[in-house]
Structure formats: structure tokens, C-alpha cells
Amino acid sequence: MKDTMIGVDLAKRVFQVHGASMTGHVKFRKKLSREQFRKFMAEQSGCVVVFEACGSASYWAREMEKLGHEAKLIAPQYVRPFVKRQKNDVADAEAIVIAAQRPEMRFVSPKSEDQQAKAVLFRARERLVRQRTEGVNALRAVLYEYGHVFPVGLAHLKRIGLGRGPGLRPARPCGDGVPGPAGADC
């Protein structure tokens, strides 16, 4: 039976760890680097390790399960009400343990590596689509400055590239050989 619950406030370099018995009595509070944390947890007997669901929480949950611990994640909005004093790493780690000890607490399941990889691809694709849209809108704005109006949408972008837009003529070279805007007098 696991008699210890450890709440971990994750950060980039230093983790705040709060250990308590299942009845809520504080066993330890530690500030550990990433390497120290991994070593410290390897030395602990099997216990319940609880993280606030954030950027690296799924990774650390998988690592804790490899070490024989039971890992759980809590959504940040469920931890916030249990912060007793000003928000800092020590108070957050303690609040994670207090929240996790509530019988009605809902936990988030850690993502697998495959789920995380798919999420990365999805976010990257969304970012590329957003950047493409920004570029097309910027081009439409520049063309509007020269009196050329194009409807919204990528389908109309091909018309711009072919010089077949309403009133759009291909650019012609000016005296210095550099193409100017359509219809510009050089």
C-alpha cells in the first residue's frame, strides 16, 4: 500500500517537492534540480506522485511510472483554490497534494509519446495555416493599395499569381529594368 503522496511543482530547472502522508501530515519539503529530482524519486519506495498538468507533466508522469510510482495529473484550475498563501512554488506543491487528497478530485490522464507527437504536428500545422493566411492577407492589402481588390480566400490567390485579377495587369519593367506595379508610370 502506498502511504506517501508527493506533489511536484514543475519548472524548467528547479522542482519544488512536497511529501505528505495519505492523512495529510507533512513528511518533507525539498527544492531539487532536474537531476536531483530523478535520483530522489528513484530512491523513494512506490508512492503516489501528483503533478499539475502542464508542459512537461506527461513526460514526468511516464518517468515516475517507470520507477514504480503511481503518477497522477491535476488540471491547474483544480489546484488554484487550495493555495493557502501567496502563489509560489512551495505553496503550489503543497496545494497539489491537498487537492489530490480530495476524494472528488478529477485527474487528467497523462499523454503517451504518440499522443504528444500528434499534438505537436497538429499545432505546427495550425501555425503554418495561420502564417499562410497572414501572408495572403498582407498581399491582398498591398494590392488594394494599388487599387486591385481580390475576394477573401486562397482560391483567388491563383488569379493573383496568373495576373488575371479584376483590372490586374502583369508588372512591366521600368527604365531601370526593375518591374514596377501594374499600370505604374516610370
Q: Which of 9-13, 14-18, 24-28 tops mean pLDDT?
A: 14-18
- pLDDT of 186 > 50? The answer is no
- pLDDT of 183 > 60? The answer is no
Give the per-residue pLDDT at 161: 64
Specify burial of residue 170 (Cβ count, 10 A radius: 0-12, 13-18, 19+). Answer: exposed
Q: Can you list the alpha helix ranges (DSSP code H) found in 24-174?
A: 34-43, 57-66, 76-79, 89-100, 113-145, 157-162
Please give the Cα distance from 85 to 119 (Å, whole number). Answer: 35
- pLDDT of 172 > 90? The answer is no
- pLDDT of 18 > 90? The answer is yes
How confident is the prediction for the chain on average, in pLDDT?
Answer: 84
The answer to whether the beta carbons of residues 166 and 148 sit under 8 Å apart is yes
**In terms of Cα–Cα distance, which of 37, 162, 140 is closest to 93?**
37
- Asked which of 27-31, 146-150, 164-168 is least confident by mean pLDDT, the reply is 164-168
CATH 3.30.420.40 fits 4-111, yes or no: yes
Question: Under 8 Å CB-to-CB from 179, ≥6 apart: which residues?
Answer: 171, 172, 173
- pLDDT of 106 > 80? The answer is yes
Q: What single-letter amino acid sits at 171?
A: A
- pLDDT of 154 > 90? The answer is no
pLDDT average, residue stretch 20-43:
90
Please give the Cα distance from 143 to 150 (Å, whole number). Answer: 8
Q: What single-letter amino acid sits at 110?
A: P
Please count the helices (runs of H) and the strands (runs of E) in the chain: 6, 5
What are residue 56's phi and psi, to 5 degrees? Answer: -105, 10
What 8-state DSSP symbol labels residue 154?
Answer: G
Domain residue limits, the chain:
4-111, 114-162
Grid cell 519539503 is found at 29
Going by pLDDT thresholds of 50, 70 and 90, the confidence category of residue 120 is: very high
Give the per-residue pLDDT at 90: 80
Beta bridge pairs of residue 71: 49
The answer to whether the beta carbons of residues 44 and 68 sit under 8 Å apart is no
**In terms of Cα–Cα distance, which of 48, 67, 62 is closest to 8?**
48
pLDDT average, residue stretch 2-22:
90
Question: Under 8 Å CB-to-CB from 17, ≥6 apart: which residues?
Answer: 6, 7, 8, 9, 28, 29, 30, 31, 32, 37, 40, 93
- pLDDT of 168 > 90? The answer is no
